[in-house]
Amino acid sequence: MTVQLVRDGLAADIALQRTESVPTFDVAVLDIGLPGIDGFEVVRRLRARGGAMPVLLLTARDAVEDRVRGLETGADDYLVKPFATAELVARIRALARRHAPPSSVLSLGRLSLDSATRRARIGEGAIELSVREWGVLEYLLQHAGRVVSKQQILDAILPWGDDVTLNAVEVYVSRLRLKLDGADVAIRTIRGFGYLLEAAA
């Protein structure tokens, strides 16, 4: 699993708004006792915007009223502290499976990415990608045939303000070009605009 951490309720609300416009993550795990606005309010705002991302609430409160309030606000699951890490992981996986889209495979040419299993293939052969290489390639595949800017790519793979420059995107694209040899796809640089993923001529 790839995890992004935010420190308070307002940052969580902003992060969820950004991932609604550029789908990035599968599940939100929220502590109820967040500084600023609490977890209940973060969930309420998410659902008021029509956001469908599954939410798991964590809390030290074990009162039935708190659990009922969390679920009625729009949370999908509720876990009381202390808990075993294995149970947390199992609940996250269950939520992700329940809300997964019908097809998780993106493909172009001989290249295919399965976002459910996190496997990348060229034909029948597997290729190894770092987390950020995966994010860049997945975003390019989702927008195949369209030009996307470095900033759009950066916002998609690091949506919550990680300290990474636009030049890093060039590095990831350069690595991907080497790894995609034989995939019958090309990542073209459109000078002044960004990148275009398309089937090789």
Given a cut of 80, whether residue 23 has pLDDT beyond it is: no
Given a cut of 70, whether residue 21 has pLDDT beyond it is: no
Position 2 confidence tier, pLDDT thresholds 50, 70, 90:
confident
When mean pLDDT is compared across 42-51, 109-118, 136-145, 153-162, the lowest value belongs to 153-162
Contacts of 74 (CB under 8 A, 6+ apart): 43, 44, 46, 47, 55
What tens digit of pLDDT does each residue of 107-134 get? 999 999 987 778 899 999 999 998 889 9
Q: Cα 134–57–138 angle (5° rounding)?
A: 10
pLDDT given for residue 162 in this prediction: 57
pLDDT given for residue 101 in this prediction: 63
Looking at 71-184, which runs of residues are DSSP E strands? 77-80, 105-108, 111-114, 119-122, 125-127, 147-148
What tens digit of pLDDT does each residue of 86-95 get? 999 999 988 8
Domains and CATH numbers, the chain: 9-98 (3.40.50.2300), 105-199 (1.10.10.10)
Position 102 confidence tier, pLDDT thresholds 50, 70, 90:
low
Residue 136 in contact with residue 176, Cβ under 8 Å? yes
What tens digit of pLDDT does each residue of 44-93 get? 999 998 888 899 999 887 778 888 888 888 999 989 999 999 999 999 98
Three-state secondary-structure class, residue 160: coil
